[in-house]
Amino acid sequence: MLYEQISFNKKFGRSSLSKMMLTLIVAWQTTMYSLGIVATIFMFENAVFSVKVILSIFLIWFFVMVILIIISRHWNTEILKRQDFFDQLTRGINSIANNNFSFRIKIEDGKNEEIRGYAESFNKMAEEISLTQERLKKSNWGHIKELEDKIYNLEITKKNLENKLQEYL
């Protein structure tokens, strides 16, 4: 189990949660092996009585180990989901910083509600920025069109004035 967690941390060790899981497993194994040493010493003092005590201690140890394996696998899966979300969020922020507003965080069904909420908020923000950018461009094009019309009208007026000046001279 310790080897599995160390391998996991080498591969995905960026997360503080994965470091916490490794610390939990090391602490658990240290206490359990210490308990095993004490139980073994106790067995040499009174063999018949200590077999009952040691057997019950090791059964408790075994069940705790199974529970911790299940918990560590669950948390490692959670760590991967969260890390995937943070990786996507980083890519999305970089995308928006580079004026690419089409990036969206993909939301999987297995994600928890907290991550889903953050992802939906990010996607909504990116959509709003994209729409605002489009409105701004359209608004600017509208102003440019108005200016072009005014310039055209000024050119017509200029030609009319030139023609009248030519007639007058």
**In this predicted model, what pLDDT tens digit does every residue of 16-71 receive, in sequence order?**
666 777 777 777 778 777 877 877 777 777 777 777 777 777 788 788 878 877 88
Give phi and psi for 37, each to the nearest 5. Answer: -65, -45
Q: 107 or 97: which carries more pLDDT confidence?
A: 97
Residue 162 inside a domain? The answer is no
| pLDDT, mean of residues 110-130 | 85
pLDDT at 94: 92
Residue 165 inside a domain? The answer is no
Classified as helix, coil or strand, 107 is coil
In the chain, how many domains are there?
1
Residue 18 inside a domain? The answer is yes
C-alpha to C-alpha distance for 132 and 140, rounded to whole angstroms: 12
Domain hosting residue 40, numbered range: 2-96
Check: CB of residue 92 under 8 Å from CB of residue 123: no
pLDDT at 17: 66
Q: 155 or 74: which carries more pLDDT confidence?
A: 155
Q: 98 pLDDT exceeds 70?
A: yes
Check: CB of residue 25 under 8 Å from CB of residue 6: no
Residue 69 inside a domain? The answer is yes
- State the chain's mean pLDDT as an integer: 80
Check: CB of residue 7 under 8 Å from CB of residue 75: no
Calculate what percentage of the chain has a pLDDT beyond 70.
87
**In which region does residue 166 sit, left (phi positive, over 0), alpha (psi from -120 to 50) or beta (all else)?**
alpha
CB burial of 112-124 (b: ≥16 within 10 Å; e: otherwise) equals eeebbebbeebbe
Q: 154 or 110: which carries more pLDDT confidence?
A: 154
Residue 157 inside a domain? The answer is no
Residue 26 inside a domain? The answer is yes
